[in-house]
């Protein structure tokens, strides 16, 4: 059974006024336990609005969000529960740090869950270890950390709630290649070791191609594609028409195909590209 | 090409409570040539942003000197003249727009220069057209997309008729579409108006478009060269925490499997090379 | 949602009011406010109300938008109305219960005050509806410029106002984002007593202050990089010019003031 299910979700901003606009329109979505769903779309495509329904921060104008089959908007209690079961980490999360110490900041979520003190302590330390923050940093002020450390401390603050579904909005935005790598590795390891479901919103097709198992494409407030990463990037030309990027490898193979080179086009990482090209030349693909 | 900005043995240390704070820049020697498109690469903390801020006298070197044309940035009387020649577009699009209407914001620089009103009007219209934002001249900045805001910021610099624009990670906070828009604007200004561009970035795809690339590492210049020279140096990339552009990585993988391919950087070059290899192998 | 709030609510247009010089609009608005406090009876007040009612179609701002801008006033209106209703003890008693007495004079005063406030706000709203924030601050800067002679930093004040107007929407968005982010970590902003609620604001206020300081710092650099050195030697792209239109508006207004004076003189004062 899907852990999270979205049925016919529509969200209107400024409903019943002249400025009424649909931020999300008729979206159906099923998120299976343990999968890593990549969400792709332009700024303003509705993806940020969509994910804020997962933990009941926003209430749908029409439609439902079901967590384990139960509507998250049943009552106040269920909404509050959804906050903790679906951990949502916003874009540039380092701007939400506020406590005196990194430790206190990471414990803000668990403390709001009213957990016992030793449980909070365990969670803070586990989360800090996951994001690779050294114990010695925990007693520092979050404002004294470097940019990358701040980002990781903020992500740890959401992980420490130990949500069943971790939703990350653009966790690598503004980072250099090293920082990006580090965050992606961290997400992969977190999913492997905790078995959590992860939703990753990203502009970077290369990132989605690297880590996601399934992908959802949002365009003009609608969910226009859903499927495995391979299935989605195989429709690279449609993505390009929507003005979205596709991974460079996909673009290269689409272009080759157009020039009459009989290559496969469901390629989205450099490694797959190498294999596909070697196969074309009749050579053994590398293991 | 003559030198436009010259850095001579420049070191810079941020003021800090700890007396032994490490230098952000160490003994940098570098020339920015008039009319070129120069990309500055490096990971966070490599000193590339400090370098940018030294180019138009936001920072003044602790040691050594920075000369813009004939003016030393340490000479306080010249700061104003330097800044009307060397403009800067910052990282956060929201934090550099001062007015509530696009065209008023673009007018801000020329107004500070004390130009007559008709001349400001002409410059503002021209500048907005050159970044393709003329249709938005009456818009409110906070309703624009990130890419559009950055283009307004660029127009605000062009309207001062600067010779050189520094982009200090100006594409880091905007989405791929906005990034493409800003990058296209940079190239057009460079090509059509002869404006010198210094682009500080950690996107390899942007560096690939440049005439020259400077790689910063640990406060020092690790390499200077054409994109081909820099990206062909694997050891350098590994050491400085940079990655190969995706197209180059693909070509390199194929080369490693024993298929002779030329060194490529961009998607277009890669497609050409693979097509030729396929034709040579007779599979087309 | 907090994002729906609009401040500096300029509505683009091409009406007579839109085309007027910002300076004359500001001066006339202030004159209107003064004049409305000199109205002594319903006749002269009625003339002022008539003027504001005529200005709405002239501005071509939809009546609905003007009415909506008056909505937040309901509370203040009720409050002053209730005060006036029961605090006026003179006049004929209409109704009384224990310590409350309602007189005809109290009723008149309550209505009079309410109409006065409504007209006042409606006209000031028209000013902001038909004048861009830039023109508004420019106008104020120019009107106040004589004060420079006595060392009032008029330019700096106007610049601060411009920047405040520019950053209000940005900060509202930011507050919205921080609130959502903290709510996602289980922050409870809605329940509890005063102390608890005040404490619950910290996770929002601290990030907001930190980011505002960063923005201010960035902005100062950006302005310096664009050769900003204060008001000295600075010119403006937009020039302000009094036209026949402004003369006509002043003329009409002078007539209305004369009307108010005459009506005040010929009819019995209410208060």
What does the pLDDT look like over C22-55, one tens digit per residue?
Answer: 999 999 999 999 999 888 888 899 999 999 999 9
What string of DSSP letters covers C182-207?
HHHTT---SSS-HHHHHHHHHHHHHH
Contact B140 C162 (CB under 8 A): no
Q: Tell me: do B220 and B248 sit in the same domain.
A: no
The complex's ipTM works out to: 0.90
Contact C186 A109 (CB under 8 A): yes
Q: To the nearest whole number, what is the mean pLDDT of chain A?
A: 92
In this structure, are strands A70-71 and A86-89 parallel, antiparallel, or unpaired?
unpaired
Question: For the segment C51-86, what is each residue's pLDDT rounded down to a tens digit?
Answer: 999 999 999 988 888 888 888 888 888 888 888 877
Contact B58 C227 (CB under 8 A): no
Question: For the segment A142-191, what is each residue's pLDDT rounded down to a tens digit?
Answer: 999 988 899 999 999 999 999 999 999 999 998 888 888 899 999 999 99
Say how many CB pairs under 8 Å bridge A and B. Answer: 106
Provide the whole-model pTM.
0.88
pLDDT tens for chain B, residues 1 to 284? 689 999 999 999 988 766 666 789 999 999 999 999 999 999 888 999 999 999 999 999 999 999 999 999 999 999 999 999 999 999 999 999 999 889 999 999 999 999 999 999 999 999 999 999 999 998 889 889 999 999 999 999 999 999 999 999 999 999 888 999 999 999 999 999 999 999 999 888 889 999 999 999 999 999 999 999 999 998 999 899 888 888 999 999 999 988 899 999 999 999 999 999 999 988 87
Question: For the segment C100-142, what is each residue's pLDDT rounded down to a tens digit?
Answer: 777 888 888 888 888 998 999 899 989 989 988 888 888 999 9
B31 forms beta bridges with: B6
> In angstroms, rounded to a whole number, what is the distance separating the alpha carbons of residues B272 and B283?
15
Question: For the segment C230-270, what is each residue's pLDDT rounded down to a tens digit?
Answer: 888 899 998 888 899 999 999 999 999 999 889 888 887 76
* Residue of C183, C202, C207 with shortest CB distance to A83: C183
**How close is the nearest chain C Cα to the Cα of A114, in Å?**
10
Q: How confident is the model at residue A40 (pLDDT cuts 50, 70, 90)?
A: very high
> In angstroms, rounded to a whole number, what is the distance separating the alpha carbons of residues A285 and A278?
6
C183 CB within 8 Å of a chain A CB? yes
Residues ≥6 apart with Cβ < 8 Å to B283:
A261, A262, A280, A281, A282
Structurally, how many domains does chain B consist of?
A: 2
C9 CB within 8 Å of a chain A CB? no
Q: Tell me: do B63 and B37 sit in the same domain.
A: yes
Asked if B196 and B165 touch (Cβ cutoff 8 Å), the reply is yes
B48 CB within 8 Å of a chain C CB? no
> In angstroms, rounded to a whole number, what is the distance separating the alpha carbons of residues A87 and A92?
15
- H/E element holding B186? helix B176-193
Residues ≥6 apart with Cβ < 8 Å to B133:
B102, B148, B151, B152, B155
Asked if residue C8 has pLDDT above 60, the reply is no
In chain C, what is the greatest distance between 2 CA atoms, to the nearest angstrom? 70
**Which tokens belong to A227?**
């499927």
Q: How confident is the model at residue A18 (pLDDT cuts 50, 70, 90)?
A: low
What pLDDT sits at residue C271?
A: 56
CA neighbor of C228 nearest in space, from B12, A63, B54, B96: B96
Q: Tell me: do B212 and B254 sit in the same domain.
A: no
Question: For the segment C168-221, what is each residue's pLDDT rounded down to a tens digit?
Answer: 889 999 999 999 999 999 988 777 777 888 888 899 999 999 999 999 999 999
Strand residue runs (E) in A14-103: 21-31, 36-40, 62-67, 70-71, 86-89
> In angstroms, rounded to a whole number, what is the distance separating the alpha carbons of residues B166 and B86?
7
Question: For the segment B57-115, what is each residue's pLDDT rounded down to a tens digit?
Answer: 999 999 999 999 999 999 999 999 999 999 999 999 999 999 988 999 999 999 999 99
Which of C4, C186, C191, C204 is the mutation pick for testing A, counting most A CBs within 10 A?
C186
Q: How confident is the model at residue C4 (pLDDT cuts 50, 70, 90)?
A: very low
Q: What is the CATH number of the domain that holds B223?
A: 3.40.50.300
> In angstroms, rounded to a whole number, what is the distance separating the alpha carbons of residues A102 and A133?
10
Q: To the nearest whole number, what is the mean pLDDT of chain B?
A: 92
* Interval A194-212 mean pLDDT: 92
A248 CB within 8 Å of a chain B CB? yes
- Residue window 122-151, chain B: list those with CB within 8 Å of chain C: 124, 138, 140-142
Q: Tell me: do B10 and B58 sit in the same domain.
A: yes
Question: What's chain B's length in residues?
Answer: 284
* Residue of C4, C183, C207 with shortest CB distance to A97: C207
Backbone angles phi, psi at C94, to 5 degrees: -95, -35
**Which tokens belong to C43?**
């006749």
* Interval A97-116 mean pLDDT: 95
In this structure, are strands A222-228 and A214-219 parallel, antiparallel, or unpaired?
antiparallel
Counting beta carbons within 10 angstroms of the beta carbon of residue B141, is it exposed (0 to 12), middle (13 to 18) or buried (19 or more)?
A: buried
* Residue of B58, B120, B157 with shortest CB distance to C237: B120
CA distances, B39 to each of B8, B73, B172, B183 (Å): 19, 21, 14, 12
Q: Tell me: do B26 and B114 sit in the same domain.
A: yes
Q: Does B239 map to a domain?
A: no
> In angstroms, rounded to a whole number, what is the distance separating the alpha carbons of residues C178 and C116?
40
Q: Please report, in angstroms and rounded to a whole number, the separation of the first and last CA atoms in chain A.
A: 35
Residue C233: closest C-alpha in chain B: B114
In this structure, are strands C93-97 and C100-103 parallel, antiparallel, or unpaired?
antiparallel
Residue B166: closest C-alpha in chain C: C225
Cα Rg of chain A (Å, integer): 20
Backbone angles phi, psi at C93, to 5 degrees: -75, 130
Q: Tell me: do B152 and B274 sit in the same domain.
A: no
CA neighbor of A36 nearest in space, from A198, A191, A160: A198
What pLDDT sits at residue B1?
A: 64
Which of C215, C225, C240 is the mutation pick for testing B, counting most B CBs within 10 A?
C225
CA neighbor of C31 nearest in space, from C266, C257, C264: C257
Question: Which range of residues forms the domain containing residue B250?
Answer: 244-284
In this structure, are strands A70-71 and C100-103 parallel, antiparallel, or unpaired?
unpaired
CA distances, B73 to each of B38, B60, B64, B99, C230 (Å): 20, 6, 11, 28, 21
Q: Does B236 map to a domain?
A: no
> In angstroms, rounded to a whole number, what is the distance separating the alpha carbons of residues C137 and C142?
9
3-class SS at A228? strand
Domain coordinates in residue numbering, chain A? 247-287
CA neighbor of B53 nearest in space, from B99, B7, B111: B7
Say how many CB pairs under 8 Å bridge A and C. Answer: 58
Q: To the nearest whole number, what is the mean pLDDT of chain C?
A: 87
Q: Tell me: do B118 and B155 sit in the same domain.
A: yes
Q: Does B237 map to a domain?
A: no
In this structure, are strands C93-97 and B86-89 parallel, antiparallel, or unpaired?
unpaired
Q: Torsion angle, CA of B124/B127/B133/B135, rounded to 10 degrees?
A: 50
What pLDDT sits at residue C196?
A: 80
Residue C206: closest C-alpha in chain A: A98
Contact C238 B104 (CB under 8 A): yes
**Which tokens belong to C34?**
């003064």
Asked if A155 and A128 touch (Cβ cutoff 8 Å), the reply is no
Backbone angles phi, psi at A159, to 5 degrees: -60, -35
What pLDDT sits at residue C132?
A: 84
Residue A89: closest C-alpha in chain C: C181
Backbone angles phi, psi at B21, to 5 degrees: -55, 135
In this structure, are strands A197-201 and A214-219 parallel, antiparallel, or unpaired?
unpaired
Q: Tell me: do B80 and B149 sit in the same domain.
A: yes
Q: Tell me: do B70 and B173 sit in the same domain.
A: yes
Question: For the segment A66-93, what is each residue's pLDDT rounded down to a tens digit?
Answer: 999 999 999 999 999 999 999 999 999 9
> In angstroms, rounded to a whole number, what is the distance separating the alpha carbons of residues A79 and C208?
26
- Residue window 147-166, chain A: list those with CB within 8 Å of chain C: 157-158, 161
CA neighbor of B97 nearest in space, from B139, B152, B147, B179: B152
B14-31 residues labelled b (16+ CB within 10 A) or e (exposed): eeeeeeeeebbbbebebb
Asked if residue C99 has pLDDT above 80, the reply is no
Question: For the segment C153-183, what is each residue's pLDDT rounded down to a tens digit?
Answer: 999 999 998 899 889 889 999 999 999 999 9
Against chain C, the chains showing at least 3 CB pairs within 8 Å are A, B
Residues ≥6 apart with Cβ < 8 Å to B16:
none
Residues ≥6 apart with Cβ < 8 Å to C141:
C154, C155, C157, C158
């Amino acid at each position: 059974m899907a852990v999270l299910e979205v049925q016919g979700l529509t969200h209107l901003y400024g409903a019943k006024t002249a400025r009424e606009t649909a931020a999300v329109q008729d979206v159906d979505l099923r998120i299976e336990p343990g999968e890593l769903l990549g969400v792709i779309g332009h700024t303003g495509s509705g993806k940020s609005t969509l994910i804020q329904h997962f933990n009941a921060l926003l209430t749908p104008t029409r439609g439902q969000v079901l967590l384990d089959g139960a509507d998250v908007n049943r009552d106040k209690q269920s909404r509050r529960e959804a906050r903790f079961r679906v951990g949502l980490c916003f874009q540039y999360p380092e701007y939400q740090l506020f406590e005196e110490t990194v430790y206190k900041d990471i414990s803000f979520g668990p403390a709001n869950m009213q957990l016992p003190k030793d449980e909070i302590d365990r969670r803070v330390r586990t989360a800090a270890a996951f994001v690779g923050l050294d114990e010695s940093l925990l007693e520092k002020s979050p404002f004294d950390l470097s940019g990358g450390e701040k980002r990781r401390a903020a992500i740890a603050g959401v992980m420490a709630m130990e949500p069943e579904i971790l939703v990350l909005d653009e966790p690598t935005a503004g980072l250099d290649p090293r920082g990006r790598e580090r965050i992606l590795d961290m997400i992969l390891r977190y999913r492997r070791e905790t078995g959590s479901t992860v939703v990753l919103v990203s502009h970077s097709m290369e990132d989605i191609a690297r880590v996601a198992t399934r992908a959802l494409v949002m365009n003009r407030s609608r969910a226009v594609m859903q499927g495995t990463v391979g299935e989605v990037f195989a429709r690279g030309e449609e993505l390009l028409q929507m003005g979205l990027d596709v991974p460079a490898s996909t673009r290269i193979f689409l272009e080759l195909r157009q020039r009459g080179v009989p290559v496969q086009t469901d390629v989205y990482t450099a490694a797959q590209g190498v294999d596909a090209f070697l196969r074309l030349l009749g050579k053994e693909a590398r293991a | 090409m003559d030198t436009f900005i010259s850095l001579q043995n420049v070191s810079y240390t941020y003021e800090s409570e700890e007396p032994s704070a490490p230098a952000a820049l160490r003994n940098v020697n570098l020339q920015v040539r008039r009319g070129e498109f120069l990309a500055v690469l490096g990971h966070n903390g490599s000193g590339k942003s400090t370098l940018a801020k030294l180019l138009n006298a936001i920072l003044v070197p602790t040691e050594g000197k920075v000369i813009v044309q004939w003016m030393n940035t340490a000479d306080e009387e010249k700061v104003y003249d330097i800044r009307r020649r060397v403009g800067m577009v910052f990282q956060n699009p929201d934090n550099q727009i001062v007015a509530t209407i696009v065209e008023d914001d673009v007018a801000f620089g020329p107004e500070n220069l004390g130009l007559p009103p008709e001349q400001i009007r002409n410059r503002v219209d021209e500048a907005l057209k050159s970044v393709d934002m003329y249709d938005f001249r009456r818009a409110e900045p906070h309703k624009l997309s990130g890419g559009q805001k950055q283009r307004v910021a660029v127009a605000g610099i062009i309207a001062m008729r600067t010779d050189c624009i520094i982009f200090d990670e100006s594409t880091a906070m905007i989405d791929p579409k906005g990034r493409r828009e800003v990058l296209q604007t940079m190239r057009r200004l460079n090509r059509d108006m002869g404006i010198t561009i210094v682009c500080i970035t950690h996107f390899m795809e942007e560096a690939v478009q440049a005439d020259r690339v400077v790689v910063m590492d640990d406060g020092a210049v690790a390499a200077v060269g054409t994109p081909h020279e820099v990206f062909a140096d694997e050891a350098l990339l590994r050491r400085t925490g940079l990655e190969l552009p995706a197209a180059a990585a693909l070509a390199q993988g194929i080369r490693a499997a024993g298929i002779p391919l030329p060194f490529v950087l961009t998607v277009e070059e890669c497609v050409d090379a693979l097509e030729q290899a396929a034709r040579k192998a007779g599979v087309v | 949602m907090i994002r729906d709030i609009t401040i500096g609510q300029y509505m683009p247009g091409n009406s007579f009011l839109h085309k007027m010089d910002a300076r004359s609009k500001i001066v006339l608005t202030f004159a209107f406010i003064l004049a409305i406090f000199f109205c002594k009876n319903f006749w002269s007040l009625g003339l002022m109300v008539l003027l504001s009612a005529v200005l709405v179609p002239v501005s071509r701002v939809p009546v609905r938008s003007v009415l909506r801008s008056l909505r937040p006033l309901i509370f203040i209106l009720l409050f002053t109305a209730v005060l006036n209703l029961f605090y006026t003890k003179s006049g004929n008693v209409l109704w009384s219960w224990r310590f409350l007495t309602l007189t005809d004079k109290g009723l008149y005063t309550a209505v009079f005050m309410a109409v006065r406030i409504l007209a006042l706000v409606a006209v000031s709203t028209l000013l902001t509806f038909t004048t861009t924030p830039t023109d508004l601050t420019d106008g104020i800067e120019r009107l106040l410029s004589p004060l420079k002679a006595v060392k009032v930093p008029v330019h700096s004040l106007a610049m601060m106002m411009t920047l405040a107007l520019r950053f209000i929407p940005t900060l509202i968005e930011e507050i919205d984002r921080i609130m959502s982010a903290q709510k996602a970590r289980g922050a409870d902003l809605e329940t509890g007593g005063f102390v608890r609620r005040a404490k619950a604001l910290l996770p929002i206020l601290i990030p907001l202050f930190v980011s505002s300081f960063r923005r201010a710092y960035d902005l100062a650099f950006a302005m310096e990089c664009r050769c900003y050195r204060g008001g000295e030697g600075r010119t403006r792209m937009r020039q302000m010019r009094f036209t026949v239109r402004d003369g006509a508006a002043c003329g009409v207004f002078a007539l209305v003031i004369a009307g108010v004076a005459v009506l005040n003189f010929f009819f019995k004062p209410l208060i």
